[in-house]
A and B are shown apart, each in its own frame.
Chain A
Amino acid sequence: MKIDFQQLTQMIQKLKANPYKIYPVKTPHTGKIIEFKVKEGMEVTGPRGKWLEKPGSPLFVLEREKNPKIISSNYNGVVQNIRFEFLNKFVEAFETVLEIKHALTQEEIISEILLSTLFVIKAPETARYIINPELAKQIEKEGLGKVTVKQGSELLTMTFMKRETPIHLRERGTFVIYRLYFKPFEIVPSNAPLIGLCPVEDLPYLERIIQRIKEEWPA
């Protein structure tokens, strides 16, 4: 792995110019929006607690088949573009109800930049993916940047056309699972990043990059 520090600096600069990400909050399914819990410009938080056991700030209440469901925020940020016209209206599934303007954290900046540095496994098809359960367990236990995989390891299962297809690592060598870029059960468009791997021997370089970003971008 070679580090192009110039390119790195450029990327950091680009991110610094607009260190935000807009997350649309969509209805997970149909239903009536019976209450908004937020106002324009309000600050909200994502899940909290040591184990993220406390849900994020409530955003709105969606009721369907007599089940009022609180939709809460998955991100820290500021609420914008609330579609108040939906209040007491029946809305379709995946309708954008509001947006959260989220200031990127150091961790997210690192993830973003690492996308161009890591060996990224991309989605071969628009499909649902889940990480190999054994690996998932290991990652849960040891954390990212610790679990290694080798050529031939089963990384993911793709659910596609009602069939489950395992995805194996084809590259030679030993890699560390460094980043996950998708959520299980969610549909991932083809070519979107799934897993970021780092060859074991390149770990020191990677740490230097991260160090560099941390310097540029104090937490």
Chain B
Amino acid sequence: MKDKVLIANRGEIALRIIEACDQLKLDYVALYTKEDEESLHVRLAKKKYRISDYRDMNDILAVADEENCTAIHPGYGFLSENYRFARRVVKRERPLIWIGPSWEAIRDLGNKLYMKRVAHELGIPVIPGTIEPLYNEIDAEFKAEDLLEEAEAQGFKEISFLIKAVAGGGGMGIEEVKTLEEIRPVFRKIRAYAKRLFGEEGVIIEVKIPRFQHLEVQILGSKKGEYVHFGTRNCTIQSPFKQKRIELAPGFCSKYRYAFDPEKIEREIIEYSLKLAKHFNYDSVGTFEWLITPEGKYYLMEVNTRIQVENEISAKISFIKDKPVNLIREQIRVAMGDNLGYTQSDINFRGMSLEFRLIAEDTRRGFVPLSGTINRFQYTPQPWLTMRTHVPQDTPYTIPTQFDPNLALAIIYAENLEDLLQKSKIFLDDIKIEGQTPKGETLLTNIEFLRENLNFIYQFI
């Protein structure tokens, strides 16, 4: 029987999955909610169903059954890293193929503390800090003292700590502490906050890394135990809320000066990423995020057990037996049980790639997301430019207010750094996004912010 993929996501990722399915000649069914009726993914999908919510597992599975789908692609966000959903998909009476890593891998790698503990056991460097949740201030103080000693031994200067709620994330339940005296009160505060907000009062303490670059390793594993990587990415340029805005591949650029050997470090973080992936029998696409300090220290931060927004810049610089790569297609293929059909030595890297995230937001006022109607969305097609967007260019489009206000991804490919910067500028000068907020004001975008930040790529921030 021919496989049929249910696309449990929206917007541009739904479109990219549709594209991959078409390439693989697979049937697919798309989903949408009533807010998304104008989205291109709804317009372009041949078969689609309206559901109540992209997070509603029951609606998704009900449609899958109704349409006799055999697999589910969760995209990114929503349910993509929900191990319970992944488990339910494969454990139900009518099981489906989960296009993603095994639910155990999602669970174990998604649990940051657990992942950190395992990584540490495997000898993989992690940010100095507690590996188990702390529940009382006495312990917290002891741990902080020890951390201080350890960090000093490692050559850190002007050390400060981050006190984090285990259950927190995305900047919530986290506070910086500069002296040991502050540990107790801040610890108590964070614990109370965590208890109130997340119902779980565990707290961890980490050394704060003051300046760093954010690198990530793109790996791919198959059900047959084959592993390859697609190089690294540099995602250091982010909004104040730790949301990526410009991503680059590869992760280091030879045009910049480093106080360390970037090739060696790249090699090592790739090696460690693969080691951890193998430990968990990781069998899909995955991203391992690393912090690199100016001195050349590196720490594993977290693992994203899904396809990333920025996957395509890695694909752009990678060539399998000199042919271009589509990571979503590879992800679907391995989920269906295919062999990779190539090894690491078949993969060559050539050129550079950059991704801009075009977003309707007020970058001068705390990056507030904006809603409104887009009346003009226009750019000149270029052979070096790939636009990924669900915003139609032929009709006005109202931005739904329930989701991230991402409008488009602009992926640029170039042979070298100068070329890349030049093309990026050409693109930013050319793109036109015009619209109005519900109050009738001009809709703001982050294009200016992107332009300014082009100056800071490959820097330690």
- A→B interface (CB under 8 Å): 28-31, 64-65, 67, 90, 92-95, 124-127, 160-163, 187, 190-191
Contact = CB atoms under 8 A, between A and B. Distances in A.
A166 to B, nearest CB: 14
Given A92-B50, A92-B51, A161-B404, A126 B62 contact: no
A126 B51 contact: no
30 contacts: A29-B51, A29-B52, A29-B59, A30-B49, A30-B51, A30-B59, A30-B63, A30-B66, A65-B58, A65-B61, A90-B66, A92-B50, A92-B51, A93-B33, A93-B50, A125-B401, A125-B438, A127-B402, A160-B369, A161-B369, A161-B371, A161-B401, A161-B402, A161-B405, A162-B369, A162-B403, A163-B368, A187-B35, A187-B402, A190-B438
B369 A93 contact: no
- Scoring A93, A160, A191 by chain B CB atoms within 10 A of each residue's CB, the highest score goes to A93
A191 B439 CA distance: 10
B34 interface: yes
Interface of B: 33-35, 49-52, 56, 58-59, 61-63, 66, 368-371, 401-405, 438
Contact of A31 (B34, B50, B62): B62
Given A30-B52, A93-B52, A163 B369 contact: yes
A64 B57 CA distance: 11
B403 A161 contact: yes
B371 A93 contact: no
Contacts of B62: 29-31, 64-65, 90
Given A64-B62, A161-B369, A187-B35, 8 more contacts: A29-B52, A93-B51, A94-B34, A95-B50, A160-B401, A161-B403, A162-B403, A163-B368
Nearest to B405: A161
Contacts of A95: 50
A124 B438 contact: yes
A58 B403 CA distance: 34
A181 B34 CA distance: 22
Contacts of B404: 161-162
B371 A126 contact: yes
Contacts of A64: 58-59, 62
Contact of B58 (A29, A90, A94, A160): A29
B438 A28 contact: no
B368 to A, nearest CB: 8
A161 to B, nearest CB: 4
Given A65-B61, A126-B371, A161-B369, A29 B401 contact: no
Closest 4 CB pairs of A and B: A161-B369, A92-B50, A93-B52, A29-B52
A132 B49 CA distance: 35
A2 B443 CA distance: 38
A204 to B, nearest CB: 35
Given A30-B63, A124-B438, A126-B371, A94 B405 contact: no
A124 B437 CA distance: 11
A28 B369 contact: no
Contacts of A92: 49-51
A200 B317 CA distance: 68
A64 B405 CA distance: 31
Contacts of B405: 161
A163 B50 CA distance: 25
A93 B56 CA distance: 11
A124 B59 CA distance: 30
